[in-house]
Structure 1
Amino acid sequence: MDRALVVIDDTESHRQLLAEAAAFAQADGADLVAFAWTTPEAAEERIDALEWVEKVERTTYEETDPDAMTRQFAREFVDDVIGDDGDVRIETVIAEDGDLDDAILSAADRLDCDHVFLVGRKRSPTGKAIFGDVAQRILLNFDGLVTVRMR
């Protein structure tokens, strides 16, 4: 493994996945890229919430750009999970839910990643045969190793 992409979100499963990916990367001497994403709708909700808080608290937040907010979340998440490690690159994207797999594959290809770590959803016994959604598409379309941690 030379460079790994780990998809992060603010859940305990993603926290554990990031810690595991960082351990693998460190053991192999590989670079690690944390990939954070948001949807346009979620970004708009965050901005609306900040604007409401600004009015109530009579304060101003410096950053309301959705990409910058996502980048800030990712940096804080990475620092909280594995420490203040400047060696972890942060990549962010604003993507529709249906486009997330394409965004992950594009970033992995652009950054020359040879391993992708992501969290999958638990399924019923029948559904376990098909990972579904993003995890399935990454498994089928990524030309490298894929580690899926089930929620």
Structure 2
Amino acid sequence: MDRGLVTLAGTRSGATLLEEAAEHAVGANADLVLLSSFTQEEAEHDLEVLNRIDTSEHGRFGELMSTELAEEVGEQIAHNVLSAYDVEYTVVGAITDHRIGRRIIDEAERHDCDHVFLLSKPHSRIGDLGEAARRVVRHFDGFTTLGRERDPERHLARLRGDGRDYDVVINY
């Protein structure tokens, strides 16, 4: 592996997959590209919540665009999970529609990646892959490592509109 693309999930399973990718990258002396993506609806919701709680004069979030929010969240995940690894990485923020599989392949090709690490959402049948995983496995010209999402609850990677769970720091 020369460069791997890892899709960030903000879940325990996502952290495990990122750690595995980091171990692989360290062993191969490779770089990682971390794809942090939201749908437009998720990004708009999170920006609205941030703007409500960011009342300071020099608010940090007021001017953020959706892709910048995705990058910021990706940077937080990377910082928390990869601090123990000596690996070079780049975070790419993306706003996607529901065709995330195509976006993963496009970003992998754009960044000259030869390995993709992603989670497959759990389905009722064993071996049944989610749409994105199916597309990547079928169409990506390189190695693919699939992890099974076992804990789909995001842990403070996404902002919630209730209570005080507005911290973007990920705690596992």
- TM-score, scaled to structure 1: 0.89
Residue in 2 that maps onto 1:143:
141
The AA in structure 1 aligned to 2:17 is: L
1: CA distance between counterparts of 2:93 and 2:2?
A: 20
User: What are the residue-to-residue correspondences of 1:1-151 with 2, within 5 Å?
Assistant: 1-54=1-54, 58-60=55-57, 61-63=59-61, 64-83=64-83, 87-97=88-98, 99-124=99-124, 127-151=125-149
Instruction: Judge which range, 128-137 or 74-83, deviates more.
Output: 128-137
8 Å CA contact 2:8, 2:36 repeated in 1: yes
8 Å CA contact 2:133, 2:146 repeated in 1: yes
The AA in structure 2 aligned to 1:148 is: L
What SS is found at the alignment partner of 1:92?
A: strand
What SS is found at the alignment partner of 1:14?
A: helix
Note the aligned Cα RMSD (angstroms): 1.6
What SS is found at the alignment partner of 2:126?
A: helix
8 Å CA contact 2:74, 2:91 repeated in 1: yes
- TM-score, scaled to structure 2: 0.79
8 Å CA contact 2:30, 2:87 repeated in 1: no
2: CA distance between counterparts of 1:86 and 1:74?
A: 15
8 Å CA contact 2:4, 2:115 repeated in 1: yes
2: CA distance between counterparts of 1:86 and 1:32?
A: 8
Q: Which runs of 5+ in 2 are unaligned?
A: 150-172
The AA in structure 2 aligned to 1:88 is: Y
Q: Which runs of 5+ in 1 are unaligned?
A: none
1: CA distance between counterparts of 2:142 and 2:105?
A: 11
- How many residue pairs match? The answer is 145
Percent of aligned pairs sharing the same letter: 30
